[in-house]
Structures are given as C-alpha cells and as structure tokens.
Amino acid sequence: MKVGVIDYGVGNLGSVARALEELRVTPVLIDRAVDIHAADNLILPGVGSFTDCKRQLDRHGWTEALKDEVLGYDKPLLGICVGMQLLADRGYEGAIDVSGTPGLGFVPGEVRSLVGLGCTLRVPHVGWNAVDFCRPSDLLIGIPSGTDFYFVHSYTLVPQNPSDTLAVTDYGVSIAAVVGRGRVWGTQFHPEKSSRAGFKVLRNFVE
C-alpha cells in the first residue's frame, strides 16, 4: 500500500513520515499534484494559517487534484491539524475579507477562532488533552475514550452536521477533535506526536 503524504510546502512532513515508518509503512512524499493518483490513500498535514495553506493548495493544483481523488475515486483522506481545518467549507484565519477563505468542502462547516467561540484559556491551545468519543469510528478502533492526545492550535473546525463530529475535547469550549464524513477524516490533534494512541490512529487509517 502506498500512503501518500501531500507535500505542498507546509506541514510537519518529517514527523508524519517517521511515524508511518515506525508502523512499517513506507510513506510516499507527493510534491506534485499530477502524481497524487499513484497513492492508495492520502494524508494532508498542515501548519500555520488556514488561508496561507489554502493558497498553497490552490497555487499548485492540489485543490482540484484532491477533489478529483476524494470525490471522483473515493480515496481515503486524513487531514491533520490545519489539514483537518482545510476539509471545511471555509475558514477565517488570515482571510482578507469577512467572507473568509474557501476550504476544500469535504466536511461542511467553518473554521473559527477559539477566542471567538468563547474560550477564556490561554490561546494557542498547546499540550495534551483528553479526547472523548461521540460515536464509533474505524479511525478510533482500539483506543479508549478519554485518551490524551497532543494539540497545537488557535482555530477549530465547527462542523455543520453534528454527525460529522466523531470526538471532542474540552479546552474552555468544546472542540471537534476528530471529524469524519465518508472516507474523509480529520484530527485536530497531531497523531504523529501523540505517542502510542496517535500511532494507533495512523495505523487504523492505513488499514
């Protein structure tokens, strides 16, 4: 199986690739959108601003390539951190106007700031937090609800449909920690930095 890690100029690719190698899976770093079809499933990392990441996807043809693979070929996709946020309809971090920046639209919803949602704790949210499961998911098999995962973020995806929220964490406000719709999933936490539980998430996705 070829696990394609999208290399679009942002994201912590090294740690994701090393985590996959620990699972005895050979990651394929895909740095051209035209090569995306060769992978069996896809991981979309993301670090930084929603708008900056989306511009990178748009600039190099990734947006259309991802839509072709996910919507046309039903290829499994896992978004990590800002990669999860990019699954939404739109986001407001770094947007140049009030209408926001369009996302990929795989998981209906918007990406909002923690402060705007009412969080009074320190932002960005950095550290380990317990994740409570809302409904069964293949991505979470073998992991107890309440397990800690590692987060680094100031914004969060707010799904339009409650059924798309698979797990939540509490950080002053309820945050969607895992989302899923069809064969598209996202984790707001970093599984590659979340020890055994995070590696289990990656293993479940690969399998």
192 is a catalytic site residue: yes
- 133: which 2 tokens? 């499961």
What type of residue sits at position 40? D
Among 53, 69, 81, 110, the active-site one is 81
H/E stretch holding 14 reads helix 13-22
DSSP β-bridge partners for residue 110? 90, 158
Kindly write down the DSSP assignment for every residue of 103-115, as one continuous string. ---SS-EEEEETT
Is the Cβ–Cβ distance between 169 and 132 less than 8 Å?
yes
Please count the residues of the chain: 207
69 is a catalytic site residue: no
Distances from the Cα of 149 to the Cα of 2, 108, 128, 192, 202, angstroms: 26, 24, 5, 10, 13
119 is a catalytic site residue: no
Which residue from 53, 41, 49, 80 is spatially nearest to 187, judged by alpha carbons? 80
- 68: which 2 tokens? 């072709």
Cα gap 109→90, rounded to integer Å: 7
Residue numbers annotated as active site: 81, 190, 192
